Homo-oligomer: A and B are copies of this chain.
Amino acid sequence: MSDTDFACCTPLTGTSMSTDQAEQVAPLLKALADPVRLRLVSLIASSEGGEACVCDLNEAFDQTQATISHHLKVLHAAGLLDREKRGVWVYYAVRPEALSAVATLFSTPAPAGASA
């Protein structure tokens, strides 16, 4: 892995995206394109210090512990979450760089055709 470097992508609008860029960002979107994972990220991001214990996360969902663990693994593998073991518990934290890489994608660069 070690791809801590995210595509500092040009926005979706504005200029057309390169194949490489698309292939870099798509996995991030794919990781987020699930209701459970979306809520996981949201829950973690809105927790104290931007991190949350798996034990708390588990209780917030209907799915089994194995399923939640799987989703967290996917988000971690995509580089969206950091993982830290503290004693018996495991804490996941959002990686702002990853989120902002995606945010850049959807930021409108400049009003199209506004230049007269």
Contacts and interface: CB of A to CB of B under 8 A. Distances in A.
A87 interface: no
Interface of A is mostly: helix
Copies in the complex: 2
A14 B14 CA distance: 28
B34 A26 contact: yes
A77 to B, nearest CB: 14
A102 interface: yes
Interface in A88-116: 94, 99-100, 102-103, 105-108, 112
Interface of A: 12-17, 19, 22-23, 25-27, 29-30, 32-36, 38-39, 41-43, 45-46, 50, 94, 99-100, 102-103, 105-108, 112
